[in-house]
Chain A
Amino acid sequence: MPWFFGVGLLAVAAVVTAITPPDAALRDPFPVGAADDGIATSRTLAAAVVDVDRTGRITTSDEEWEAEGNWLVVTLSVSAPTTEVDAAIGVASLLIDGRLFQASERPPATLVGTDLRVGTDTVGMLAFELPADLRSGTGELRLSGRYPTPELDDVIVFPVDLADVPTATAVEIDEPRLGAP
């Protein structure tokens, strides 16, 4: 009888150890999702997803550069909610299939690092290069206002489901531009 009790205590201890968040979670960022109008507003960024595409080939508008692969291209409309000083997307990452991808540095034009304005949207594109065998699954797109991802600050999170994303033959990556999408 006593050692059933002991085994029971061991089981409870195992469960408690398993569900306790690690120490580092004390400094995790705070996720911010989109409101009903599709715009997610964090402390330094206000962003909305305009378009998401999957493609096997991305190019620049003048066809000078291209890359083949399993690409996920996201078009976003972003602005700064309160101040333009240091307003930019510092890190754009995609968490899917248990792996964390960063927005690819390969395309000549990217929304990461572009200066953002208060009250006027900037529309730009991000491209994620995924492994050839990653064709389905759900994940999340995370945007943060500073590089590297800050602690104890907001991170904008948009859910992504690869099954819902249309596939295009080729997608042109445009330079970021001012104005409504």
Chain B
Amino acid sequence: MTSWWHRQRVALIALLVAVVAVVGVHVWFDVLPASTDDTAVIEARNGSAEIAGQSLALDSARWDEFDAPAGSRTLSIRIESGGGPDATTCGLFTLAEAGGARVWSNARSVLDVPFDAGESFCQEESGPYVILAVFLLPDDAEGPFVLEIPGDGEVARFPVEL
């Protein structure tokens, strides 16, 4: 008299295959992370890059140009843009620590920055102009940093050495 396992082997194998298939489908669709963001990253060469239809060049980075509360200081970054017929607007400027995880955004709205010191964003200008981005950094953020400027589905990265 054969054992129950032997008699049911076809059904048991089918059950095992079905379990593996169901678990696999569940893990594939519901557990594994979705595909990450694939925006093209443009690394700046010699401090300049083409983004948002214009040529941007990192001009200067200066500490403490504006008043900041105790324990923090400002970092003003000036970017020269050639403008041009294809110039479009770009997104939010962000400054990230090259080695760490912290990310800062343009703090002009909370600091006393004169309106005519430079543009806040890329403009659709035909001629050259200057963009001024001011970041409020704590005293323990020393650099080096990376400035990211998004535009037109791409992101331009400028290393900022101080």
Contact = CB atoms under 8 A, between A and B. Distances in A.
Question: Are A and B in contact, CB atoms below 8 Å, in the complex?
Answer: yes
Main secondary structure of the interface of A (DSSP, over half): loop
Given A82-B101, A83-B103, A180-B71, 15 more contacts: A82-B102, A83-B102, A84-B104, A85-B94, A85-B105, A117-B104, A117-B110, A119-B71, A119-B102, A119-B136, A120-B136, A178-B68, A178-B136, A179-B69, A179-B71
B103 A180 contact: no
Given A115-B109, A120-B136, A180 B104 contact: no
26 contacts: A82-B101, A82-B102, A82-B103, A84-B94, A84-B105, A85-B94, A85-B105, A115-B109, A115-B110, A117-B107, A117-B110, A117-B136, A118-B103, A118-B104, A119-B71, A119-B102, A119-B104, A119-B136, A119-B137, A119-B138, A119-B141, A120-B69, A120-B138, A178-B69, A178-B72, A180-B69
Contacts of A120: 68-69, 71-72, 136, 138
Interface of A: 82-85, 115, 117-120, 178-180
Interface string B57-97: 00000000000111110000000000000000000101000
Contacts of A179: 69-71
A48 to B, nearest CB: 15
Interface of B: 68-72, 92, 94, 101-105, 107, 109-110, 136-138, 140-141
B72 A85 contact: no
Nearest to A176: B110
B138 A118 contact: yes
A179 B69 CA distance: 5
Rank and list the top 8 A-B pairs by shortest CB-CB distance, nearest first.
Answer: A119-B138, A179-B69, A83-B103, A84-B105, A120-B72, A178-B69, A118-B102, A84-B104
Nearest to B106: A84
B10 to A, nearest CB: 38
A85 to B, nearest CB: 6
A179 B137 CA distance: 12
Contacts of B68: 120, 178
A46 B101 CA distance: 15
Contacts of A118: 102-104, 138
Interface centre among A115, A117, A118, A178 (most CB of B within 10 A): A118
B92 A85 contact: yes
Given A178-B69, A180-B70, A180-B71, A84 B140 contact: no
A151 B105 CA distance: 26
A133 B108 CA distance: 45
